[in-house]
A and B are shown apart, each in its own frame.
Chain A
Amino acid sequence: MRAIMTVVGPDRVGIVAGVTTLLAALNINILDLSQTIMGGIFTMTLLVDTAEANRPFDEIRTALKEHGDAQNLNIRIQREDTFTAMHRI
């Protein structure tokens, strides 16, 4: 399934590397990625495909959250449908 991931936190070296390494380990494919600094805060949104992931969705969410907690980042993942429902007619 297609999911939107968001990574938000204080900017520093290696955030993208850490997150994408974890995604690779989970066998999650990145379809699109957008990153910016908003008011000094690192903000990245990723469109990913979890169809070939090697763990169930609940565990993926937990693994990402744990990575975020350890790195002082707020990382979330949820179905793309949530956002298309709200912003596309």
Chain B
Amino acid sequence: MLNQSDILQTLDMIDQQHLDIRTVTMGISLRACADPDVRVCARKIYDQICRKAGNLVATGNAIESEYGIPIVNKRISVTPVSLVAESCESADYAILARALDRAAKECGVNFIGGYSALVHKGCTPGDSRLIASIPEALSTTDLVCSSVNVATTKAGINMDAVAEMGRVIKETARRTADADGIGCAKLVVFANAVEDNPFMAGAFHGVGEPECVINVGVSGPGVVHFALKDVHGQPFDVVADTIKRTAFRVTRMGQMVAQAASARLGVPFGVVDLSLAPTPAVGDSVARILEEMGLETCGTHGTTAALALLNDAVKKGGIMASSHVGGLSGAFIPVSEDEGMIAAAERGTLTLDKLEAMTCVCSVGLDMIAVPGDTPAETISAIIADEAAIGMVNSKTTAVRLIPAPGKTVGDRVEFGGLLGSAPVIPLHRESAAEFIARGGRIPAPMQSLKN
């Protein structure tokens, strides 16, 4: 039989250190749902999702019960809706968002992602219509998540789309003003978006994916933090090794659950996403891991180096534990969803500029950050452009999920509840970037040699 202390250690990770599977996400192709009549298209989308994902939640719950490991979220990602809707004669795409919302509720999942467009080199009429409909789609649905890819390393940055997304974020905030602009918490602007990401709000089912697939996102900041307490004060070699060992164990859980879900649902296994995804719960924070390494507060000097080590060690440890690794795979730093990040932002140590630096070395980007409600659209676009530039030049995924909280200013708080958490409104530079954003056009793709 297994060693008793190993058994008790595993139970301790689950009970005391918040070890869980963060999400089992079913990717579903909607490519067969296109129709000139938008209402027929909506019905086909609803039927396809309910047919494929009808048993997802029940299966997830059964695995949770038998294996004794919590599966926090069951979710669905779909083909970017702009591709499916392109042939619709109507411009009213929000009907399709509401069909996604109904299907998600029927299946019992807590989010559905893929109200998305990929416009890194330019927009088709369908892409433009979808982007224009995002504020309505997110303000008239509960579970739909939207993402727009505005840049890639190979194509450069579509600055027209960047400018448009600043306005879309502002309008989405305005339409959901009664809930602190929560619509923006469901909207991600990407550079180098991945096709198999199981995490919301940026999940969509990419065009290279099969008809249906199971992707799993793991978690475990609490487990890593706990393990590092045992090597307090020791050199970074020991720190990196400890994180790798822990990440290996966490990822093995993800692989096991992914294979079980895949077999029971009769759906191919896609990837395990090796991410350290925090929650607002105490003891489940990425910021606290960085502080455990010796930083007084997350955001102070040294934070970027600490995060770089963490991110790399998580990947190195996790990669051997899974047969297929993909998605975003790295440490997440969503401010409102991480108890330690919230505390650091409230102290003023964790600023937007430091967060931007941190995104150079981790997954994924400026995530769940509340900014003043009167922030101009051009400033939001300029932040998106900066973040996209980091992703483009460094050949990595970056993203922006900002919430310009209506009526709120620096020092106020926004409350989203649940996994989305709460966050202080943090200051931005007041100087304008309007002329920069007004130029439009495309920033050319960067050199990928002569790297310095």
Interface residues of A (CB under 8 A from B): 1, 4, 6, 31-32, 34, 36, 43, 45, 47, 57-58, 61, 76-88
Question: Does B67 sit at the interface, judged by CB under 8 A?
Answer: yes
B55 close to A (CB within 8 Å): no
A13→B3 CA distance, assembly (Å): 25
B68 contact set on A, CB distance < 8 A: 76-79, 82
Instruction: A84 to B3: give the CA distance in the assembly, Å.
Output: 10
CA distance A45 to B67 in the complex (A): 16
B336-349 to A contact mask, C-beta < 8 Å, 1/0:
00000000000000
Report which of A32, A43, A47, A86 forms a contact with B10, defined as CB distance below 8 A: A86
Complex CA gap A63/B382 in Å reads 59
Complexed CA–CA distance, A79 and B252 (Å): 14
Is A82 in contact with B4, judged by CB distance below 8 angstroms?
Answer: no
CB pair B11–A76 under 8 Å, yes or no, is yes
Contact in complex: B65, A82 (CB < 8 Å) = no
Q: What residue of chain B has the Cβ atom nearest to residue A86's Cβ?
A: B249
With A4-B2, A32-B1 as given contacts, are A83 and B7 in contact (CB-CB < 8 Å)? yes
Chain B residues engaging chain A, CB cutoff 8 angstroms: 1-4, 6-8, 10-11, 65-69, 249, 252-253, 255-256, 260
When C-beta atoms are compared, the residue in chain B nearest to A36 turns out to be B4
Q: Which of A1, A32, A58, A85 contacts B255 (CB 8 A)?
A: A85
* A34-B65 contact, Cβ under 8 Å, with A82-B256, A85-B253, A85-B255: no
A80 CA / B11 CA spacing, docked (Å): 12
Interface pair A87/B67, CB less than 8 Å apart: no
Q: How far is the CB of B226 from chain A (nearest CB, A)?
A: 15
A16 to chain B, nearest CB (A): 15
Task: Known pairs A45-B2, A45-B8, A58-B65; list 9 more (Cβ under 8 Å).
Answer: A57-B66, A76-B11, A77-B68, A81-B256, A82-B10, A85-B252, A87-B3, A87-B249, A88-B2
Assembly CA distance A1 to B67 (angstroms): 11
Q: What CA separation (Å) do A80 and B68 show in the bound complex?
A: 10
- 6 A-B pairs with CB atoms under 8 Å apart are A45-B2, A45-B7, A81-B256, A82-B67, A82-B69, A88-B2
- Residues A45 and B1 in contact, CB atoms below 8 Å apart: yes
How long is the Cα–Cα vector from A57 to B67 in the complex, in angstroms?
A: 11
Query: Using Cβ atoms and an 8 Å threshold, which residues of chain A touch B10?
Result: 82-83, 86-87
Report B-chain residues with C-beta under 8 Å of the C-beta of A78. Answer: 66-69
> For B3, what are the chain A residues with a Cβ–Cβ distance below 8 Å?
87
Contact B66 A84 (CB under 8 A): no
A49 → chain B closest CB, angstroms: 12
Contact between B6 and A87, CB atoms less than 8 A apart = yes
Rounded to whole Å, the gap between the CB of B219 and the closest CB of chain A is 14
Q: Which residue of B lies closest to A8 (CB)?
A: B8
Q: Which chain A residues border B1 with CB–CB below 8 Å?
A: 31-32, 34, 45, 47
Taken together as a complex, chains A and B put the C-alpha atoms of A17 and B260 apart, in Å, by 34
Instruction: Report the separation of the CA atoms of residues A82 and B70 in the bound assembly, to the nearest whole angstrom.
Output: 12
Report if A83-B8 is in contact (Cβ < 8 Å); known contacts: A57-B65, A61-B65.
no
Q: Which chain B residues lie closer than 8 Å to A47 at the CB level? A: 1-2
Cα–Cα distance between A84 and B1 once the two chains are bound (Å): 10
Nearest chain A CB to B321's CB is how many angstroms away?
Answer: 9
Least CB distance from B174 to A in Å reads: 47
Q: Collect the chain A residues with CB atoms within 8 Å of residue B260's CB.
A: 81
Nearest CB in chain A: distance from B346 CB, A: 36
Q: Is the CB of B65 within 8 A of A85?
A: no
Query: Is A6 within 8 A of B11, CB to CB?
Result: yes
Please, which residues of chain B bring their CB within 8 A of the CB of A86?
A: 6, 10, 249, 252-253
Please determine whether A85 and B7 come into contact, CB atoms closer than 8 angstroms: no
Measured between C-beta atoms, what is the minimum distance from B113 to chain A in Å?
28
Q: Within the complex, which residue of A1, A34, A77, A84 is in contact with B4, where a contact is CB–CB below 8 Å?
A: A34
Residues of B within 8 A of A45 (CB): 1-2, 4, 7-8
Which chain A positions have C-beta within 8 A of B11?
A: 6, 76
Closest residue of chain B to A35 (Cβ to Cβ) is B4
Bound-state Cα–Cα, A6 to B1, Å: 13
